[in-house]
Protein backbone atom coordinates (compact mmCIF):
# COMPACT_ATOMS: atom_id res chain seq x y z
CA UNK A 1 0.00 0.00 0.00
CA UNK A 2 2.78 2.37 0.89
CA UNK A 3 4.51 1.77 -2.44
CA UNK A 4 1.30 2.55 -4.28
CA UNK A 5 0.87 5.83 -2.43
CA UNK A 6 4.43 6.91 -3.18
CA UNK A 7 3.97 6.27 -6.89
CA UNK A 8 0.63 8.11 -6.78
CA UNK A 9 2.25 11.19 -5.16
CA UNK A 10 5.09 11.19 -7.67
CA UNK A 11 2.51 11.03 -10.50
CA UNK A 12 0.57 13.96 -9.02
CA UNK A 13 3.53 16.19 -8.06
CA UNK A 14 5.83 15.59 -11.03
CA UNK A 15 4.00 18.00 -13.35
CA UNK A 16 3.93 20.62 -10.62
CA UNK A 17 7.66 20.25 -10.04
CA UNK A 18 8.24 20.47 -13.76
CA UNK A 19 6.15 23.61 -13.93
CA UNK A 20 7.96 25.10 -10.91
CA UNK A 21 11.33 24.30 -12.44
CA UNK A 22 10.24 25.92 -15.70
CA UNK A 23 9.02 28.97 -13.84
CA UNK A 24 12.26 29.15 -11.89
CA UNK A 25 14.27 28.97 -15.10
CA UNK A 26 12.07 31.67 -16.59
CA UNK A 27 12.65 33.83 -13.55
CA UNK A 28 16.41 33.30 -13.89
CA UNK A 29 16.26 34.29 -17.55
CA UNK A 30 14.19 37.37 -16.67
CA UNK A 31 16.58 38.35 -13.92
CA UNK A 32 19.47 38.04 -16.34
CA UNK A 33 17.57 40.30 -18.74
CA UNK A 34 16.95 42.78 -15.92
CA UNK A 35 20.64 42.59 -15.02
CA UNK A 36 21.61 43.28 -18.63
CA UNK A 37 19.17 46.19 -18.79
CA UNK A 38 20.40 47.49 -15.44
CA UNK A 39 23.97 47.42 -16.67
CA UNK A 40 22.84 49.25 -19.81
CA UNK A 41 20.99 51.93 -17.82
CA UNK A 42 23.89 52.18 -15.39
CA UNK A 43 26.20 52.80 -18.32
CA UNK A 44 23.79 55.39 -19.69
CA UNK A 45 23.45 57.03 -16.31
CA UNK A 46 27.20 57.10 -15.90
CA UNK A 47 27.48 58.77 -19.30
CA UNK A 48 24.76 61.24 -18.34
CA UNK A 49 26.52 61.87 -15.03
CA UNK A 50 29.79 62.44 -16.82
CA UNK A 51 28.12 64.85 -19.25
CA UNK A 52 26.40 66.63 -16.36
CA UNK A 53 29.65 66.83 -14.44
CA UNK A 54 31.36 68.27 -17.50
CA UNK A 55 28.57 70.83 -17.90
CA UNK A 56 28.88 71.79 -14.25
CA UNK A 57 32.63 72.13 -14.61
CA UNK A 58 32.13 74.37 -17.64
CA UNK A 59 29.48 76.38 -15.79
CA UNK A 60 31.75 76.80 -12.77
CA UNK A 61 34.58 77.87 -15.03
CA UNK A 62 32.38 80.52 -16.64
CA UNK A 63 31.15 81.68 -13.25
CA UNK A 64 34.68 81.93 -11.92
CA UNK A 65 35.74 83.89 -14.96
CA UNK A 66 32.75 86.22 -14.82
CA UNK A 67 33.47 87.05 -11.20
CA UNK A 68 37.20 87.33 -11.83
CA UNK A 69 37.78 84.49 -9.39
CA UNK A 70 40.35 81.69 -9.67
CA UNK A 71 39.52 78.32 -11.18
CA UNK A 72 42.11 76.12 -9.48
CA UNK A 73 41.15 73.69 -6.72
CA UNK A 74 43.78 75.20 -4.41
CA UNK A 75 41.94 78.53 -4.52
CA UNK A 76 38.44 77.03 -4.20
CA UNK A 77 38.12 78.35 -0.65
CA UNK A 78 38.17 81.92 -1.94
CA UNK A 79 35.33 81.11 -4.33
CA UNK A 80 33.29 79.51 -1.53
CA UNK A 81 33.69 82.51 0.76
CA UNK A 82 32.98 84.96 -2.06
CA UNK A 83 29.85 83.03 -3.10
CA UNK A 84 28.47 83.22 0.43
CA UNK A 85 29.15 86.96 0.57
CA UNK A 86 27.52 87.47 -2.82
CA UNK A 87 24.38 85.52 -1.89
CA UNK A 88 23.89 87.39 1.37
CA UNK A 89 24.44 90.79 -0.23
CA UNK A 90 22.08 90.10 -3.13
CA UNK A 91 19.28 88.93 -0.83
CA UNK A 92 19.70 91.87 1.55
CA UNK A 93 19.94 94.26 -1.40
CA UNK A 94 16.69 93.00 -2.92
CA UNK A 95 14.83 93.49 0.35
CA UNK A 96 16.27 96.98 0.77
CA UNK A 97 15.42 97.89 -2.83
CA UNK A 98 11.82 96.82 -2.33
CA UNK A 99 11.51 98.99 0.78
CA UNK A 100 13.22 101.95 -0.89
CA UNK A 101 11.03 101.83 -3.99
CA UNK A 102 7.89 101.76 -1.86
CA UNK A 103 9.09 104.81 0.08
CA UNK A 104 9.89 106.72 -3.14
CA UNK A 105 6.50 106.22 -4.82
CA UNK A 106 5.21 109.57 -3.58
CA UNK A 107 8.49 111.50 -3.88
CA UNK A 108 8.43 114.18 -6.55
CA UNK A 109 11.52 115.45 -8.36
CA UNK A 110 13.43 117.44 -5.70
CA UNK A 111 14.95 120.84 -6.25
CA UNK A 112 18.59 121.00 -5.18
CA UNK A 113 20.95 123.90 -4.85
CA UNK A 114 23.15 123.86 -7.97
CA UNK A 115 26.88 123.33 -7.85
CA UNK A 116 29.42 126.14 -8.02
CA UNK A 117 31.10 124.54 -10.98
CA UNK A 118 34.66 125.50 -11.84
CA UNK A 119 36.13 124.98 -15.31
CA UNK A 120 38.08 121.72 -15.20
CA UNK A 121 41.26 123.61 -16.14
CA UNK A 122 40.88 125.78 -13.04
CA UNK A 123 40.40 122.69 -10.84
CA UNK A 124 43.57 121.19 -12.28
CA UNK A 125 45.53 124.41 -11.70
CA UNK A 126 44.43 124.37 -8.06
CA UNK A 127 45.47 120.73 -7.79
CA UNK A 128 48.93 121.56 -9.17
CA UNK A 129 49.30 124.37 -6.64
CA UNK A 130 48.40 121.91 -3.89
CA UNK A 131 51.48 119.78 -4.62
CA UNK A 132 53.66 120.98 -7.51
CA UNK A 133 56.16 118.12 -7.14
CA UNK A 134 53.55 115.35 -7.31
CA UNK A 135 51.23 116.88 -9.91
CA UNK A 136 53.25 115.96 -13.07
CA UNK A 137 53.33 112.29 -12.03
CA UNK A 138 49.60 112.29 -11.28
CA UNK A 139 48.78 114.15 -14.52
CA UNK A 140 50.52 111.50 -16.63
CA UNK A 141 48.48 108.77 -14.90
CA UNK A 142 45.32 110.83 -15.44
CA UNK A 143 46.01 111.05 -19.17
CA UNK A 144 46.66 107.30 -19.29
CA UNK A 145 43.30 106.72 -17.64
CA UNK A 146 41.53 108.96 -20.13
CA UNK A 147 42.98 106.94 -23.01
CA UNK A 148 42.09 103.70 -21.27
CA UNK A 149 38.41 104.62 -21.04
CA UNK A 150 38.28 105.26 -24.77
CA UNK A 151 40.26 102.17 -25.76
CA UNK A 152 38.69 99.63 -23.39
CA UNK A 153 35.26 100.33 -22.05
CA UNK A 154 35.08 96.97 -20.29
CA UNK A 155 37.97 98.12 -18.12
CA UNK A 156 35.57 100.46 -16.35
CA UNK A 157 34.45 99.03 -13.01
CA UNK A 158 31.16 100.93 -13.32
CA UNK A 159 30.28 99.15 -16.59
CA UNK A 160 26.98 97.25 -16.57
CA UNK A 161 28.67 93.92 -17.33
CA UNK A 162 31.12 94.17 -14.45
CA UNK A 163 29.87 91.63 -11.90
CA UNK A 164 31.36 93.32 -8.88
CA UNK A 165 29.74 96.61 -9.89
CA UNK A 166 26.40 94.83 -9.69
CA UNK A 167 27.38 93.46 -6.28
CA UNK A 168 28.30 96.96 -5.12
CA UNK A 169 24.85 98.02 -6.33
CA UNK A 170 23.34 95.49 -3.90
CA UNK A 171 25.45 97.00 -1.12
CA UNK A 172 24.19 100.47 -2.02
CA UNK A 173 20.60 99.23 -1.91
CA UNK A 174 21.16 98.40 1.75
CA UNK A 175 22.77 101.66 2.86
CA UNK A 176 22.21 104.40 0.27
CA UNK A 177 19.02 106.46 0.56
CA UNK A 178 18.38 110.05 -0.46
CA UNK A 179 20.39 112.39 -2.67
CA UNK A 180 23.57 110.73 -3.98
CA UNK A 181 26.86 112.18 -5.20
CA UNK A 182 28.91 109.63 -7.15
CA UNK A 183 32.55 110.75 -7.30
CA UNK A 184 34.28 109.41 -10.39
CA UNK A 185 31.07 108.16 -11.98
CA UNK A 186 32.81 107.45 -15.30
CA UNK A 187 32.11 108.87 -18.77
CA UNK A 188 29.51 106.26 -19.83
CA UNK A 189 26.32 107.52 -18.22
CA UNK A 190 24.71 106.20 -15.05
CA UNK A 191 26.93 103.50 -13.49
CA UNK A 192 25.41 100.03 -13.24
CA UNK A 193 25.57 100.12 -9.44
CA UNK A 194 23.12 103.06 -9.52
CA UNK A 195 20.90 101.65 -12.29
CA UNK A 196 17.81 101.42 -10.08
CA UNK A 197 18.02 105.02 -8.85
CA UNK A 198 15.91 107.93 -10.01
CA UNK A 199 18.09 110.21 -12.12
CA UNK A 200 16.84 113.26 -10.24
CA UNK A 201 18.36 111.83 -7.04
CA UNK A 202 21.85 111.29 -8.48
CA UNK A 203 24.64 113.73 -9.22
CA UNK A 204 27.94 112.63 -10.71
CA UNK A 205 31.40 114.17 -10.50
CA UNK A 206 33.74 113.19 -13.34
CA UNK A 207 37.00 114.83 -14.52
CA UNK A 208 36.68 113.35 -18.03
CA UNK A 209 34.22 114.55 -20.67
CA UNK A 210 31.22 112.25 -21.05
CA UNK A 211 31.46 109.71 -23.88
CA UNK A 212 27.75 108.91 -23.67
CA UNK A 213 24.78 111.14 -22.93
CA UNK A 214 24.05 111.17 -19.23
CA UNK A 215 20.43 111.14 -18.05
CA UNK A 216 21.47 112.63 -14.70
CA UNK A 217 23.40 115.72 -13.58
CA UNK A 218 27.14 115.37 -14.19
CA UNK A 219 29.65 118.01 -13.13
CA UNK A 220 33.22 117.99 -14.40
CA UNK A 221 35.59 118.24 -11.49
CA UNK A 222 37.91 116.43 -9.12
CA UNK A 223 37.51 114.95 -5.65
CA UNK A 224 39.94 117.42 -4.05
CA UNK A 225 37.71 120.42 -4.89
CA UNK A 226 34.02 119.52 -4.76
CA UNK A 227 31.98 122.40 -6.20
CA UNK A 228 29.10 122.28 -3.70
CA UNK A 229 28.26 124.05 -0.46
CA UNK A 230 28.49 122.24 2.85
CA UNK A 231 26.01 119.47 3.80
CA UNK A 232 24.40 119.02 0.38
CA UNK A 233 24.25 115.20 0.06
CA UNK A 234 22.76 112.30 1.99
CA UNK A 235 25.16 109.86 0.33
CA UNK A 236 28.59 110.16 -1.28
CA UNK A 237 29.75 107.14 -3.30
CA UNK A 238 33.26 106.26 -4.42
CA UNK A 239 33.26 103.15 -6.61
CA UNK A 240 36.93 102.24 -7.25
CA UNK A 241 37.78 105.90 -7.84
CA UNK A 242 39.47 106.86 -4.58
CA UNK A 243 42.77 105.27 -5.65
CA UNK A 244 42.97 107.79 -8.52
CA UNK A 245 43.09 110.97 -6.43
CA UNK A 246 46.29 112.95 -5.89
CA UNK A 247 45.59 113.95 -2.27
CA UNK A 248 43.76 111.42 -0.11
CA UNK A 249 43.61 113.71 2.90
CA UNK A 250 42.11 116.61 0.93
CA UNK A 251 39.65 114.33 -0.86
CA UNK A 252 38.34 112.75 2.36
CA UNK A 253 38.01 116.15 4.01
CA UNK A 254 35.94 117.38 1.06
CA UNK A 255 33.62 114.37 1.22
CA UNK A 256 33.12 115.00 4.94
CA UNK A 257 32.25 118.63 4.17
CA UNK A 258 29.52 118.03 1.57
CA UNK A 259 27.79 115.23 3.53
CA UNK A 260 24.77 116.09 5.62
CA UNK A 261 24.90 115.23 9.34
CA UNK A 262 24.08 111.54 9.58
CA UNK A 263 24.87 111.01 5.89
CA UNK A 264 26.93 108.12 4.59
CA UNK A 265 30.17 107.76 2.66
CA UNK A 266 30.10 104.44 0.78
CA UNK A 267 33.35 103.21 -0.74
CA UNK A 268 34.35 100.28 -2.92
CA UNK A 269 38.09 99.65 -3.12
CA UNK A 270 40.60 96.88 -3.68
CA UNK A 271 42.76 96.03 -0.67
CA UNK A 272 46.14 94.45 -1.45
CA UNK A 273 47.93 93.00 1.59
CA UNK A 274 51.30 94.63 1.97
CA UNK A 275 50.58 97.61 -0.31
CA UNK A 276 52.77 100.49 0.86
CA UNK A 277 51.12 103.50 2.53
CA UNK A 278 50.84 106.56 0.32
CA UNK A 279 52.81 109.54 1.59
CA UNK A 280 51.72 112.58 -0.39
CA UNK A 281 54.20 114.78 1.49
CA UNK A 282 57.16 112.83 0.18
CA UNK A 283 59.45 114.48 -2.34
CA UNK A 284 60.13 111.22 -4.21
CA UNK A 285 57.14 110.16 -6.25
CA UNK A 286 56.92 107.18 -8.56
CA UNK A 287 53.83 105.59 -10.11
CA UNK A 288 53.28 101.93 -9.27
CA UNK A 289 51.56 101.19 -12.59
CA UNK A 290 50.10 103.01 -15.61
CA UNK A 291 47.10 104.32 -13.68
CA UNK A 292 47.92 104.52 -9.96
CA UNK A 293 50.15 106.39 -7.56
CA UNK A 294 49.29 103.83 -4.87
CA UNK A 295 47.24 100.77 -3.99
CA UNK A 296 45.28 100.37 -0.78
CA UNK A 297 45.82 98.05 2.13
CA UNK A 298 43.14 98.07 4.82
CA UNK A 299 45.86 98.30 7.45
CA UNK A 300 46.75 101.86 6.49
CA UNK A 301 43.66 103.26 4.77
CA UNK A 302 41.21 102.59 7.63
CA UNK A 303 43.09 104.80 10.14
CA UNK A 304 43.03 107.54 7.50
CA UNK A 305 39.28 107.05 7.01
CA UNK A 306 38.81 107.38 10.77
CA UNK A 307 40.23 110.90 10.80
CA UNK A 308 37.04 112.02 9.08
CA UNK A 309 34.49 109.18 9.43
CA UNK A 310 33.15 106.52 11.74
CA UNK A 311 33.24 103.15 10.00
CA UNK A 312 29.83 101.51 10.41
CA UNK A 313 30.26 98.48 8.17
CA UNK A 314 33.04 96.64 6.35
CA UNK A 315 32.11 93.89 3.89
CA UNK A 316 34.95 91.90 2.35
CA UNK A 317 34.68 89.73 -0.78
CA UNK A 318 38.01 87.89 -1.02
CA UNK A 319 40.05 87.01 -4.05
CA UNK A 320 43.53 85.52 -4.20
CA UNK A 321 46.00 88.36 -3.92
CA UNK A 322 43.51 91.07 -2.97
CA UNK A 323 40.03 91.70 -1.59
CA UNK A 324 37.08 93.70 -2.81
CA UNK A 325 36.10 95.79 0.23
CA UNK A 326 32.88 97.79 0.68
CA UNK A 327 32.73 100.43 3.42
CA UNK A 328 29.81 102.34 4.88
CA UNK A 329 30.90 105.34 6.98
CA UNK A 330 29.30 108.33 8.65
CA UNK A 331 31.01 111.78 8.84
CA UNK A 332 32.65 113.01 11.96
CA UNK A 333 31.86 116.65 12.58
CA UNK A 334 34.99 118.76 12.65
**Which pLDDT score is estimated for 252?**
98
pLDDT band at 56 (very low <50, low <70, confident <90, very high): very low
Region class of 262: left (phi > 0), else alpha (psi between -120 and 50), else beta = left
- Please state, in angstroms and rounded to a whole number, the distance separating the CA atoms of residues 190 and 234: 18
pLDDT band at 33 (very low <50, low <70, confident <90, very high): low
* pLDDT over 90 at 158, yes or no: no
Handedness of CA 251, 142, 227, 111 (dihedral sign): negative
Q: What is the CATH number of domain 77-331?
A: 3.40.50.150
Q: Give mean pLDDT, residues 122-126.
A: 96
Q: Give mean pLDDT, residues 41-50.
A: 56
- Please state, in angstroms and rounded to a whole number, the distance separating the CA atoms of residues 298 and 194: 25
**Which pLDDT score is estimated for 215?**
85
pLDDT band at 146 (very low <50, low <70, confident <90, very high): confident
**Which pLDDT score is estimated for 86?**
72
Least confident of 2-16, 133-147, 218-232, 295-309: 2-16
**Which pLDDT score is estimated for 63?**
42
Q: Give mean pLDDT, residues 128-138.
A: 95
The angle formed by the CA atoms of residues 44, 50 and 51, to the nearest 5 degrees, is: 90
Q: Give mean pLDDT, residues 24-39.
A: 56
Tell me the percentage of the chain whose pLDDT exceeds 90.
46
Least confident of 42-51, 113-122, 199-208: 42-51
**Which pLDDT score is estimated for 92?**
73
pLDDT per residue as tens digits for the range 66-104: 444 444 554 555 556 667 767 777 777 666 776 776 666
Least confident of 68-77, 169-178, 183-192, 220-229: 68-77
- Specify whether the CB–CB gap between 105 and 183 falls below 8 A: no
The ranges assigned to domains in the chain are 1-66, 77-331
pLDDT band at 235 (very low <50, low <70, confident <90, very high): very high
**Which pLDDT score is estimated for 192?**
86
- Please state, in angstroms and rounded to a whole number, the distance separating the CA atoms of residues 240 and 292: 12
**Which pLDDT score is estimated for 9?**
42
Least confident of 60-74, 95-109, 224-238, 304-318: 60-74
* pLDDT over 50 at 8, yes or no: no
**Which pLDDT score is estimated for 231?**
95
> Which is more confidently placed, 256 or 287?
256
In whole angstroms, how far apart are CA 36 and each of 27, 29, 30, 180, 246?
Answer: 14, 11, 10, 69, 75
* pLDDT over 80 at 210, yes or no: yes
DSSP string for 2-60:
HHHHHHHHHHHHHHHHHHHHHHHHHHHHHHHHHHHHHHHHHHHHHHHHHHHHHHHHHHH
Q: What is the number of residues in the chain?
A: 334
**Which pLDDT score is estimated for 156?**
62
Amino acid sequence: MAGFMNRFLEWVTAPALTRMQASYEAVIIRLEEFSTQAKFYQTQNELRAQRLEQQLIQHDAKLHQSLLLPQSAIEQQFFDVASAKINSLVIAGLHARSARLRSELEIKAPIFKPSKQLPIEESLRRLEALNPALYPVWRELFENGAKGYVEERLGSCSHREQKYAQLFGCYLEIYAHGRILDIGCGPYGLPSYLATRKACMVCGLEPLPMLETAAFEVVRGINEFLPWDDAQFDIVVSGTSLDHVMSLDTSLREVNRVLKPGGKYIVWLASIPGAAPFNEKSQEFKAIDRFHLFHFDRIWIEPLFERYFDIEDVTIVPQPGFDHVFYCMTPRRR
